[in-house]
Amino acid sequence: MSDDRRKFTLYLHPEEVKSDAQAISVIDTVSRRSRGELFRQTFVAGLALQQLDDRLPALIATMLTRTLTVDQVIGLIAQTRPSGSEATKCDI
């Protein structure tokens, strides 16, 4: 069995970036045992958004606040649709 695992390191800058400070607040609410899975899921979710539109991960990252809503994220994603594309509606 080959080991194709990859390790990535990143830094958050809470003094400089408000969304980084909020990210740390969220991370601190998760038990240390569960953080690795949170980081993996978050990383993969960001890549899924990047596949939809290169701008989405950065745009959504800047939106991270205590008051972020599902409607705000849906609205942002709707704005990135190519012009002329038909709106997709779904119940979440």
pLDDT digits (tens, 9 = 90+) for 11-66: 999 999 999 999 999 999 999 999 999 999 999 999 999 999 999 999 999 999 99
Range of the domain at 54: 18-79
pLDDT of residue 82: 73
Token digits of residue 18: 């408000």
In a domain, 92, yes or no: no
Q: d(Cα 45, Cα 51) in Å, to the nearest integer?
A: 10
pLDDT of residue 2: 77
In a domain, 72, yes or no: yes
In a domain, 9, yes or no: no
Count structural domains, the chain: 1
Scanning the structure block, which residue is given the tokens 């970036």?
17
Is 34 in contact with 40 (CB distance < 8 Å)?
A: no
pLDDT over 90 (residue 89): no
In a domain, 30, yes or no: yes
In a domain, 27, yes or no: yes
In a domain, 5, yes or no: no
pLDDT of residue 81: 81
In a domain, 12, yes or no: no
In a domain, 39, yes or no: yes
